[in-house]
Chain A
Amino acid sequence: MSTDPGVWIAAFLTMCILSFLYRDNPFYRFAEHLFIGVSAAYWAVYYYYNILQPNLIDPMFVQGQLLLIIPLALGVMMLTRLFPKVGWMSRWPLAFIVGTYAGYNLIIYLQSDALDQVTATLVSLVQVEAWQTLFQHPSFVNFLYAIGVPVVIMGVITGIIYFFFSKEHKGVFGGLAKIGIWFLMVAFGASFGYTVMARISLLIGRVYFLLHNWLQLI
């Protein structure tokens, strides 16, 4: 067994968190509250040294960039929530944040989630090399490669059709929308399996810590 007190504390807290698998209990509650408190304090200090100091305090009070008084004022207005009489002032910076980012993200998402995706989908339907490979070496995998592009394009179009909200999903349109949701579900299934494997590796990492670093059994 390890003689390092830090490893013992980490092992104890790991066991406390894992005890949640049984049910809510005082050990889990202790670890939960400790985790929340310590992490909240950590992030408060982190934000001060990595956000406030380099972006506001140093440029304004050391370099004299007085224009930064605007974000400073908005920040102070956020804190007026602590005083009910002037708490209404905190709505202004909130409105500023929501409005600014809603407008800013419109362009960002239009580019990354719409036009760039359209451009990436513009691929020739006939992949000559893939078909040549299929005829030379007929197999199911090569068949999938050969029909890959048309399937992807069909998936994209029917997927978009599923997200039409102002038209009733019935008839041919409804059929295409149903194909679209099937494409989505197949993609979700693949993603689910992939991510679960990644999570298993996290569990293995924690079990390894307990058996190797703490108990030193392996």
Chain B
Amino acid sequence: MFLLFFVLAQGVIDDVDVVNSTDLIEKSEAVHTIVQAPPTQIYTRDRANDAGGGIVVFWKKSEDDGAGRESVIEYHIYRGTEADGDFELVGTAKAGDTSYTDITTRDGTPYYYQVKAFDGEQHSSAAVSEAAYSSAQWFHTGRISMLIATILISTFVVWFINKAKRGHELYIRPIAGLEAVDDAVGRATEMGKPIMYVPGILDMDNIQTIASMIILGRVARKAAEYETAILVPCTRSIVMSAAQEMVKEAYLEAGRPDAYDADKIQYLTDDQFGYAAGVDGMLLREKPGAIFYLGGFYAESLILAETGHSTGAIQIAGTAQPSQLPFFVTACDYTLIGEEMFAASAYLSKEPLLLGGLKGQDWGKAIIIFLILVGVLLVTLGFTDVIGWLSTGQ
């Protein structure tokens, strides 16, 4: 019995040995020749809503991607300019993906694509797509909501401007920070001290700086009328040029062109904290009676406002930087919060045209409130499609 068992066992071991030594090697080589199934149904489309230079390649997943042998780890996308010419690798997509966007195309050039499944060692075969061309679109269909909003708000603004032109009186509510502008200039005049106007650290491409320049014109005009010096330290050369123009214009309007001094509007440096150090020094040396911080500010806001506060000057600040508003609220006498600063030009000048624009913007806000109320109600009731309708596209 024991002998029989030994003989049988030896036979099995011999079989195993035989398999290990020859068949397994052949089978192993055979496994390497089994290539995963290729992706199929390859087709292309010009990337929608772009400025050209993009083609999207689509395919149907390989049968071995997430199923079958589950051997596909990624897809390699090849591109050529002739169907039977050379193809070069332009990108990869991970397993499970069924599309790839090629953003390196030249508009008008025909491109042919191949997509090959890759298992880490070898590629599948691949068919060649039809010729594809990229092109730019004039109209971004995903941004219709933006178009409607722009037209709507512009219509309101134009409507109310026309209404103001016809002599219709438009109301604007009091804004404490702006009402204090004249008082601040007057106080500096009484004290025989100059006014300092800090227009922020952003350039003229920022809407806050543009708004700040408009307010500067008003402050400078008041300063010219009261014969009070106005100092404007700038951190951007173009802002300095714009500030000089605004102040010069204001002095002309006030009938005091002789009192205008361009050197009072000076460039310090583009560096944020270099500028803060310079303005701080000026604040302590010049000891202005009124200080205006109006424009775009970042971390230097509290440094400036605290130093200004220590001089005892009346301080009026305004910015649309939410992170800096708390510091101005804390350290300044009056703070224009966000849009209050943008409304300043209309408020200070009381010009019907600007007031009409302000009224139109208010109607825009009313529409926003309406959209939020209706939208939230619909989403709460399960109509989440409304979010897509308002999406502005990217």
A interface residues (Cβ-Cβ under 8 A, vs B): 17, 20, 23-24, 28-29, 31-32, 35-40, 42-43, 47, 78, 81, 90-91, 94, 97-98, 101-102, 105-107, 109-111, 114-116, 118-119, 121-126, 153, 156-157, 160-161, 163-169, 184-185, 187-189, 191-192, 195, 199
Does the CB pair A121–B204 fall under 8 Å?
no
Q: A94-B204, A110-B146, A163-B339 are in contact. List 18 more A-B contacts (CB 8 A).
A: A29-B281, A32-B280, A36-B277, A40-B270, A97-B205, A106-B150, A114-B364, A115-B149, A153-B372, A160-B365, A163-B338, A164-B365, A165-B347, A166-B170, A166-B173, A166-B359, A166-B362, A199-B299
Bound complex: CA A81 to CA B226 (Å) = 27
Known: A116-B392, A122-B372. A98 touches B210 (CB 8 A): yes
Q: How far is the CB of B283 from chain A (nearest CB, A)?
A: 9
CB distance from B299 to the nearest CB of A (A): 8
Secondary structure class of chain B's binding surface, majority of residues = helix
Report the minimal beta-carbon distance from A80 to chain B, rounded to whole angstroms. Answer: 10
Instruction: Name the residue on B nearest A177 (C-beta).
Output: B173
Question: Is the pair A20, B171 in contact by a Cβ cutoff of 8 Å?
Answer: no
A195's partner among B323, B359, B364 (CB-CB below 8 A) is B323
> What is the distance, in angstroms, from A15's C-beta to the closest C-beta of chain B?
14
A33 CB to closest chain B CB (Å) equals 8
With A43-B270, A115-B146 as contacts: A20 and B280 at CB distance below 8 Å: yes
Q: Does B386 contact A (CB under 8 A)?
A: yes
Point out the residues of chain B lying under 8 angstroms from A195, CB to CB. Answer: 323, 326-327
Task: Determine whether the beta carbon of A165 is less than 8 Å from that of B146.
Answer: no
- Find out whether the CB atom of B173 lies under 8 angstroms from the CB atom of A165: yes
Q: How many A-B residue pairs have CB under 8 A?
A: 177
When the two chains form their complex, are residues B372 and A184 in contact, meaning their CB atoms are under 8 A apart? no
Q: Kindly identify which residue among A17, A20, A97, A122 contacts B376, using a CB–CB cutoff of 8 Å.
A: A122
| Residues from chain B with Cβ under 8 Å of A47 in the complex | 270
Across the interface, A157 reaches (CB within 8 A) one of B173, B280, B373, B378, namely: B373
Asked if B362 contacts A90 (CB within 8 A), the reply is no
CB distance from A114 to the nearest CB of B (A): 6
Given contacts A39-B270, A122-B372, contact A94 B238 (CB under 8 A): yes
Measured between alpha carbons, how far is A185 from B329 in the docked complex, in Å?
9
